[in-house]
Amino acid sequence: MVVLDSPLRWLTEAVKRRSLQLATGYFHPEERRWIDQAPKPKQSKSGRSLWKWMRLREIQVWMRDGDLESIRRNDRRIAYIKRVMEYLVSHEQKGSVNLRKLHAVEGLDDNTKHGLRRNAWNYPGFFIVTVNNRQKEDLVALTDKAKQLMEDERRARWDRDESSCVKILKKILMMSRDRRIRRSKLHCLQEYYAFPYDYNTGFLERHPDHIRLVETPKDSYVELVSWDQELAVTEREKAVAQGRTPKELGQWAFVISYPEGYTPNRVRLEQLDNFQRLPFPSPYEFSQRAFDTPVGQKEALGIFHELLSFTVEKRALVSDFTTLAGSLNIPRYFSDSLLSCHPGIFYVSKWKNQHYVFLREAYRGKNLVAEEVDPLVTIRRRYLELMKPKPEKLHLSSRDEDYLYVPISKRGITSNQDEANVLGMSHGFFSSKPSSHRLPNIVR
């Protein structure tokens, strides 16, 4: 490894690397790690300007996309809400959980407990909170809309056509090295491809003509029964046949969709043109190429492009797919080298130590572009509709605070209007007149 101990030596190596890229038209696998190790010159202002110009204009190709970043943040919130909802449903005989005694609750990790205590008030569409200061209880339960949404999501998964799931599973097995993959590795991808809930039990046994389960002393494998040549056509090849790529680039090109505001320079366009014209084998033609070559890198990108095209929402967590690296003969450094250097094909969102990858051609802003809207995508939109902002708080006087925190059921008050009459309120939240304010979804 070359030790870049001075800015001048770093600039010399950068010029050599740029010449190699112009000649070959691809990014080196370790380029981004190599860039991060570069020291900033401190000798002169011109040196800093030259370093900044080479980094921003020549080498750095990643650009933040606000629309896709918001999708990634909403996915994290929805995943958190689903964990809490599943726990509350599992304790339906109790009906609610005391927020003040979450330390004794079993079945939830510490991060979810802290998040529930902090955010239960922020999602009135999902959770209803009953506050009682005298008994020191803050009980949280699910709303009727949240329960109905969970039921609709389960029904959508059960009613999903199994033939499409079998087709996806067969295509993944056809790309594998031995035409079989461990069942535990495929289980991690169950949510991305919307496999049935009984994937480990009945789904694999209901289709013996296509796939079969092989038991070994060490582990169990899902094996392909018969090869289907009609399925050995990639989504990229279908896009080329549909005319979604320029004809002058040939049959090896990917669909390019740059984010709004991103304008690649001349050097980047030359590299992209050479990359698009470079021939490479199909993901269904297993080869043992070295991934430090341009052809090997494009082959790895083609495999990951095919895997991402099968997902329901055309996005996934990169670490979940690294478990298939050995079976599909792909490298494990997708997130920091290959995917980040191709912003027109993929978008990599980095949060802490996790990398989320999006398929660029499937998105227009925040919207997922598809010929047919999947029912699970509609379910996600309903989750977003229920994720409303925190309701307005009531400004209560100290003399009424103890009384107001007693549950309504224990005071003999059956409606909001009755409570308004008891408290002497004629306007505001409890007024019978039309008001622009919404009543908080909190029982007090």
Judged against a pLDDT cut of 60, whether residue 400 lies above it is answered with no
pLDDT band for 334, please (50, 70, 90 cuts): low
Distance (Å) of CA 102 to CA 67, 77, 94, 118, 140: 35, 20, 14, 12, 11
Locus of tokens 């933040």: 64
Judged against a pLDDT cut of 50, whether residue 2 lies above it is answered with no
Judged against a pLDDT cut of 70, whether residue 42 lies above it is answered with no
* Residue 391 vs residue 310, higher pLDDT: 310
Distance (Å) of CA 49 to CA 44, 222, 394: 9, 56, 55
pLDDT band for 107, please (50, 70, 90 cuts): low
Provide the b/e sequence for 339-378 (b: ≥16 CB within 10 Å): bbbbbbbbbbbbeeeebbbbbbbbbeeeebeeeeeebeee
Closest residue by Cα to residue 332 from 319, 341, 344, 317: 319
pLDDT band for 234, please (50, 70, 90 cuts): very high
Q: According to the model, what pLDDT value does residue 40 have?
A: 42
Cα 16 to Cα 2: distance, rounded to the nearest angstrom: 13
Can you list the pairs that 12-15 forms with residues at least 24 positions away whose Cβ atoms lie under 8 Å?
Answer: 14/38, 14/54, 14/59
pLDDT band for 266, please (50, 70, 90 cuts): confident
Q: What is the DSSP string of 332-356?
A: S-IIIIIGGG-TTTEEEEEETTEEE
E strand or H helix that includes residue 213: strand 211-215
Cα 89 to Cα 105: distance, rounded to the nearest angstrom: 14
Judged against a pLDDT cut of 60, whether residue 348 lies above it is answered with yes
For the segment 150-162, the average pLDDT, to the nearest whole number, is 90
Judged against a pLDDT cut of 70, whether residue 143 lies above it is answered with yes
The average confidence (pLDDT) of the chain is 74
Distance (Å) of CA 380 to CA 75, 102, 132, 312: 9, 28, 34, 11
Choose from 70-74, 136-140, 263-267 the range with maximum mean pLDDT: 70-74
Choose from 21-35, 120-134, 143-157 the range with maximum mean pLDDT: 143-157
* Residue 209 vs residue 397, higher pLDDT: 209
Q: According to the model, what pLDDT value does residue 188 have?
A: 84
Q: According to the model, what pLDDT value does residue 291 have?
A: 72
pLDDT band for 384, please (50, 70, 90 cuts): very high
**pLDDT digit string (tens) for 4-21?**
445 556 556 665 565 545
Q: According to the model, what pLDDT value does residue 289 have?
A: 66
H helices within 224-317, ranges in order? 235-241, 266-277, 294-310
For the segment 229-258, the average pLDDT, to the nearest whole number, is 90
Cα 343 to Cα 290: distance, rounded to the nearest angstrom: 23
For the segment 51-66, the average pLDDT, to the nearest whole number, is 53
Listed range (146-155, 276-285, 405-414) with the worst mean pLDDT: 405-414
Q: According to the model, what pLDDT value does residue 23 have?
A: 43
Q: According to the model, what pLDDT value does residue 28 have?
A: 43
* Token digits of residue 234: 């990639």
For the segment 158-182, the average pLDDT, to the nearest whole number, is 90
* Residue 136 vs residue 304, higher pLDDT: 304
Phi/psi at 181 (5° precision): -140, 150
Q: According to the model, what pLDDT value does residue 254 have?
A: 93
Cα 323 to Cα 188: distance, rounded to the nearest angstrom: 9
Closest residue by Cα to residue 129 from 407, 350, 429: 407
Judged against a pLDDT cut of 50, whether residue 43 lies above it is answered with no
Cα 85 to Cα 296: distance, rounded to the nearest angstrom: 44
Neighbouring CB atoms inside 10 A of 261's CB total 9
* Token digits of residue 331: 């490298």
Q: According to the model, what pLDDT value does residue 10 have?
A: 57
* Token digits of residue 391: 């309701």
Type of residue numbered 99: L
Q: According to the model, what pLDDT value does residue 314 have?
A: 93
Q: According to the model, what pLDDT value does residue 423 have?
A: 37
Judged against a pLDDT cut of 90, whether residue 172 lies above it is answered with yes
The model scores a pTM over 0.75: no
Phi/psi at 147 (5° precision): -65, -40
Q: What percent of the chain has pLDDT over 90?
A: 20
For the segment 233-259, the average pLDDT, to the nearest whole number, is 90
Closest residue by Cα to residue 359 from 345, 349, 372: 345
Q: According to the model, what pLDDT value does residue 116 have?
A: 76
**pLDDT digit string (tens) for 351-380?**
878 889 999 999 988 888 877 788 999 999
pLDDT band for 47, please (50, 70, 90 cuts): very low
Q: What is the 3-state secondary structure (H, E, C) of 112-146?
A: HHHHHHHHCCCCCCCEEEEEECCCCEEEEEECHHH
